[in-house]
Amino acid sequence: SQQGEEDPQALSIQEGENATMNCSYKTSINNLQWYRQNSGRGLVHLILIRSNEREKHSGRLRVTLDTSKKSSSLLITASRAADTASYFCATANAGGTSYGKLTFGQGTILTVHP
């Protein structure tokens, strides 16, 4: 079963606008990660936020984590056409012998129009 549920499934915006994607999960996590996948390509790691962190920035990316609500959001500011891709959240479960296995959400398809 999927750990992460992403919302919205698809997002269409104009260049220069901000894009916000949300991810909810079910069990306790060690960290949550966001990946990007361009059409026909493999996934590329964007950013990781640990369970004891609430917000993290990387360039035009801002990630928040609310462990009480078991949710995270990814904000891409000043979007560009090159940001067009699918975005996935992935959770690394806490404890046990999980070895930090990642469980992926279904993804948000972002389209940025020039």
Structure tokens belonging to residue 6: 């992403």
Site for other proteins contains 59 (CB under 8 A):
no
Helices vs strands, H then E, count in the chain: 0, 11
Half-sphere exposure of 25 (CA within 13 A, CB side): 30
Question: DSSP per residue over 42-55, as a string?
Answer: -EEEEEEEETT-SE
Asked if 102 and 90 count as a contact pair (C-beta separation under 8 A), the reply is yes
Pick from 65, 83, 105, 110 the residue near other proteins by CB under 8 A.
105
Site for other proteins contains 45 (CB under 8 A):
yes
Site for other proteins contains 107 (CB under 8 A):
yes
Q: Give the count of residues interacting with other proteins (CB under 8 A).
A: 26
Site for other proteins contains 42 (CB under 8 A):
yes
Site for other proteins contains 22 (CB under 8 A):
no
Distance of CA 99 to the CA centre of its chain: 21
Site for other proteins contains 72 (CB under 8 A):
no
Residues interacting with other proteins, by CB under 8 A? 1-2, 4, 30-31, 33, 35, 40-45, 48, 88, 90, 92, 99-107
